[in-house]
Amino acid sequence: MTINSRSQVGWLVLRVMLAWLVAAHGFYRLLSGGTTGFGEYLDSQGLPFGLAIAWSITLTECLGSILLVVGRFVFPVTLLLSAIYVVGIFMVHASNGWFVVGAGRNGAEYSVLLITSLLCLGWQHAPGGKRMT
Question: Crossing angle, helix 3-32 and helix 34-44, to 10 degrees?
Answer: 90
pLDDT at 129: 65
Residue 131 lies in a domain: no
Range of the domain at 11: 3-124
Residue 47 lies in a domain: yes
Residue 26 lies in a domain: yes
Q: Name, in order, each residue with C-beta under 8 angstroms of 106's C-beta and a sequence gap of 6 or more.
A: 92, 93, 96, 100
Residue 92 lies in a domain: yes
Counted domains in the chain: 1
**What does pTM read for this prediction?**
0.91
pLDDT tens, position by position, 58-115: 999 999 999 999 999 999 999 999 999 999 999 999 999 999 888 888 899 999 999 9
Residue 129 lies in a domain: no
pLDDT tens, position by position, 100-118: 888 888 899 999 999 999 9
pLDDT cut 70: percent of the chain above it:
95
